[in-house]
Structure 1
Amino acid sequence: MPPPVLPDELLEEVFFRLPPDEPEHLLCASLVSKVWLGLLSAPRFRARYRDFHGAPPMLGFLCSLRSNSVHEAEDNIPHFLPTTKFRARIPDDDWGCWGYTAWDCRHGRVLLGDQSYQPVPLVVWDPMTGCRRELDSPDQLRRSYGAAVFCAVAGCDHRACHAGPFQVLYIGVDTIEDGEYVARACLSLPVTGDWSKPCSGSRFNKWNEPCSALHLGPIAFWDELSPVFVQDALHFKLVYYLDNHIAILKYDLGSNCLSLIDAPLAGSILLNASILVAMEDGRLGFANVDMLTIHLWSRQRGSDGIASWTQRTVININNLLPIHNPNKILRLIGSVEGRDIIFVAMGLDIYGINLKTLRWKKLQKRKKLCGLILYMSFYNPQERVIPGDAAH
């Protein structure tokens, strides 16, 4: 006699416990039978699976190499390095003649650019399906850049929203007299992809009044790391190379305003010694490494309405990681938004450290990376690569 058939409710409870950072298990389960395929591909199961696991897993990361757009000949995916058995999907034409590098990744989408051309060609790429959308950078903002991609759907939980409308923020820098710099911003529209006027528009295009350009002072450059998204605002780290001090450029999506925030540390800071962090409690964090010690601050608003930095913790890396040479130089190269996790590099070794639990995990990589841009999403085994024409 045939084996008993489990009810859908019991099958779901089993499938819920398949780890999200091992997506091959869901794929294999979907191939067992049409019944299992239908169950796993149903919107109801996918929503409950995400609720069961909470935050999306890290499926891989990309390298931020904006200062060098030269690619190795075998790189058909722009610096995508999987941390699971998930493999990113690319369009049929393998990116054509462009030498794209990763600029940002958020809400299941990757922002790529090729700064060797003017205007800079941009691509928003979905590694889950291979779908991409090409954009030209704003004609009026050609010098320097800071760029970010994010979901444009109000109320979205951003756990598996890679197929919905998105927006791109592009910030350019102009030189004014006496070597001073000013920043201006443009925001793409979710449907058409057209650009707003410099420093104009809002997240949902409710108004189109320009905001004032922001004065940056002399010789400010963008950090190689991608920005962090905190409290409906994007934060970019700026480096002033005259004295190596750090500042934070903030673009508030709600008020459509650019502003500058002082870092909690004054004076000269090494380029790879500090990083911005989107904390789990929804606050902006700032981490800095000094020799083998990590100092962590968070920014919070007091009862007087004024925001300030508060030191949260000090972590001695020598007591945490297996460091055999205490003279090795530590570099902070990435963080996980909303998870209190940062990534520390020592030579070719990369460690992910949870700032709350102090648990760590080593990523075995052979290349010395400038920065990590994490790709996080729940895997849907039913999604397939779409034809190259449609991917455009």
Structure 2
Amino acid sequence: EGDTMAACLRCRRRLPLSPPAAPLEDDGLLSENLLRLPPQPSSLPRASAVCSRLLSDPAFRRRFRIHHRGSALLLGSFIHYPGITFQPAPDAPDRLPLEQFRLKLDDHYIALGCRHGLALFFLPIRLQVLVWDPLAGHQLRLAVPPDFEFQGAKGDISGAVLRAAGDVDHFRVVLVGCDGEQPRTALACVYSSETGVWGGCVSTPIPSEGLFIFRGEPAMLAGDRLHWSVTVAGSRGILKFDLDRQSLDLSLLPGDYYTPLSPEFTVVRAEGGRMGFLFLHRFIAELWSTKRNRDGVEIWTPGRSIELDKLLGLNSEKEPPQMIGYAEENNAVFFRAADADYMVHLESLQFNKLPKTTVGSYYHPFETVHTPEPGSELAARGLLPSLVVRAEGGGKGFLFLYRFTAELWSTKRNRDGVEIWAPGRSIELDKLLGLNSEKEPPQMIGYAEENNAVLFRTVDADYMVHLESLQFNKLPKTTVGSYYHPFETVHTPGQRHEAWSVLL
């Protein structure tokens, strides 16, 4: 028995040990390390030289965005007036091409604000709002709800775009406004990309006299509430929308700060992420926040004062600075001084000197935690026009349309047997149909499922394109808003045994 045991031990010692997995072959270890990369635009492209397979996985990229949700990167600012231009913030290699931030629209448009990597614009002539993802190049136009179809000097509209915490696949648009009619009310309505529709409107009463005006500043998100600075009958106030309760409320500024002669102010994030105010009186910026008194009533109290002439080295004999923007995720305020613009971080008091803008300009900071690539899973967010089609094998697929490029998506199983979405063939419609890519891109206006053909409206005509053969037919152009409902059959009357398909 002893000899047997000794032989077994000798055999066991001779058994080769399995070598430990190399760090770059251990997906679990590698993904945990890559998640800790900083959220700068250059991080993932640089790391792709080490492991392009993992970094191209949509599931990993989604984890990366969620992991860095709390550390927003300021990529630059849209500067409104005259027109809209983009001023990048980071240095190379994190500075992104300016071409990505050029919004090419023929319509008159107004910037409403940016948040979570999305920008929102209002098109007053068309009564539409435009959601834009500059990094992916995706746009979505939405007609305003019927209750917001008002124009004229008495009405005013503003809005905000945002994503829910931890949700990188969907967004919401909150539209607020007042039509100037009696009895006077402010309205709010929410669009969800998950449902694809506007919800019901909520309202709150406002004073019956004087103008109700949004002060041109974007909304500030604190907690679960959006806050807009407004002027009501000469007084200054805050319009608040509660995202959870879907409720709207109007309140005037505290104390003597609501008079027409009161100092400049902007809504900012106070300590703890609550709503606060920054008042500017000449060269002194004063932070205010709320606290509860002995009776449990919430009251406004002043906090830190910032002497901007000493901090920024300004000449107090010259024109005092103006507040011209606020980056909520970085908690930084933009000021225009006599010699330059400045961005001041309210917590650290660190600042950056910026090129001076023209009088009347306003900063709309663009903050995000990731830099997605065109054609990524962002298409599923609803920013691209999409159509459900038949994929190869008869399964469900999607056709996404980005300007002149149509991209087919279908499902496949990954190594773990999980069904995931994957891009397939791309169709360059300008080359296929001989379209001018400088003109308005086509729209999808119908689908013939038995023929697996999509109908498009272009500037000069309509087209029916067969997705498998890419053969197409040119059709008479229909009016804007028209939609094709193809009538298909597999037989003609009197010829039951001949199975063929006809598009009527």
Same fold (TM over 0.5): yes
Unmatched 5+ stretches in structure 1: 72-77, 200-210
Please give the per-residue CA displacement for 1:2-50, whole angstroms capped at 9, x wherever unaligned: xxx87475897589455x44x23543443xx3x4323444444774587
Picking from 42, 59, 62, the partner of 2:75 is 59
What's 2:133 paired with? Answer: 126
What's 1:287 paired with? Answer: 278
CA contact (8 A) 1:64 1:225 kept: no
What's 1:205 paired with? Answer: none
- Residue type at the aligned position of 1:165: H
Report the Cα distance in structure 1 between the residues aligned to 2:191 and 2:69, rounded to whole angstroms. Answer: 32
CA contact (8 A) 2:309 2:315 kept: no
Please give the per-residue CA displacement for 1:133-181, whole angstroms capped at 9, x wherever unaligned: 1101122222311211111x4xx247xx3xx22121112213245xx74
Picking from 158, 171, 180, the partner of 2:176 is 171
TM-score (normalised: structure 2): 0.60
What's 2:426 paired with? Answer: none
1:230 equivalent to 2:222? Answer yes
1:197 equivalent to 2:206? Answer no
What's 2:117 paired with? Answer: 108
Higher CA-based Rg: 2
C-alpha displacement at 1:261, in angstroms?
1.9
C-alpha displacement at 1:329, in angstroms?
2.6
TM-score (normalised: structure 1): 0.76
CA contact (8 A) 1:50 1:56 kept: no
Picking from 176, 182, 185, the partner of 1:182 is 185
CA RMSD in angstroms comes to 3.4
Query: Which deviates further from its counterpart, 9-18 or 105-114?
Result: 9-18
Q: Which has the higher contact order (CA 8 A, sep 6+)?
A: 1
- C-alpha distance 377-140 of structure 1, shift in aligned 2 (>3 A): same
- C-alpha distance 348-123 of structure 1, shift in aligned 2 (>3 A): farther
Report the Cα distance in structure 2 between the residues aligned to 1:336 and 1:303, rounded to whole angstroms. Answer: 34
What's 2:45 paired with? Answer: 27
- Residue type at the aligned position of 1:107: H
Percent of counterpart pairs with the same letter?
A: 24
What's 1:254 paired with? Answer: 244
C-alpha displacement at 1:215, in angstroms?
4.4
- Residue type at the aligned position of 2:226: L
Residue 312 of structure 2 aligns to a residue whose secondary structure is: coil
Unmatched 5+ stretches in structure 2: 1-21, 377-400, 407-440, 444-504
- C-alpha distance 216-346 of structure 1, shift in aligned 2 (>3 A): farther
Report the Cα distance in structure 1 between the residues aligned to 2:68 and 2:190, rounded to whole angstroms. Answer: 34
1:146 equivalent to 2:153? Answer no
For 1:363-374, list aligned pairs within 5 A.
363-368=354-359, 370-374=361-365
C-alpha displacement at 1:285, in angstroms?
1.0
List, as ranges, runs of 4+ consecutive aligned residues in structure 1 with deviation greater than 6 Å: none
- Residue type at the aligned position of 2:132: W
1:308 equivalent to 2:276? Answer no
- Residue type at the aligned position of 1:24: S
Report the Cα distance in structure 2 between the residues aligned to 1:174 and 1:48, rounded to whole angstroms. Answer: 43
Report the Cα distance in structure 1 between the residues aligned to 2:69 and 2:221, rounded to whole angstroms. Answer: 22
Report the Cα distance in structure 1 between the residues aligned to 2:367 and 2:170, rounded to whole angstroms. Answer: 18
- Residue type at the aligned position of 1:172: G
Report the Cα distance in structure 1 between the residues aligned to 2:228 and 2:335, rounded to whole angstroms. Answer: 19
- C-alpha distance 314-39 of structure 1, shift in aligned 2 (>3 A): same
Report the Cα distance in structure 2 between the residues aligned to 1:91 and 1:288, rounded to whole angstroms. Answer: 32
Report the Cα distance in structure 2 between the residues aligned to 1:56 and 1:239, rounded to whole angstroms. Answer: 31
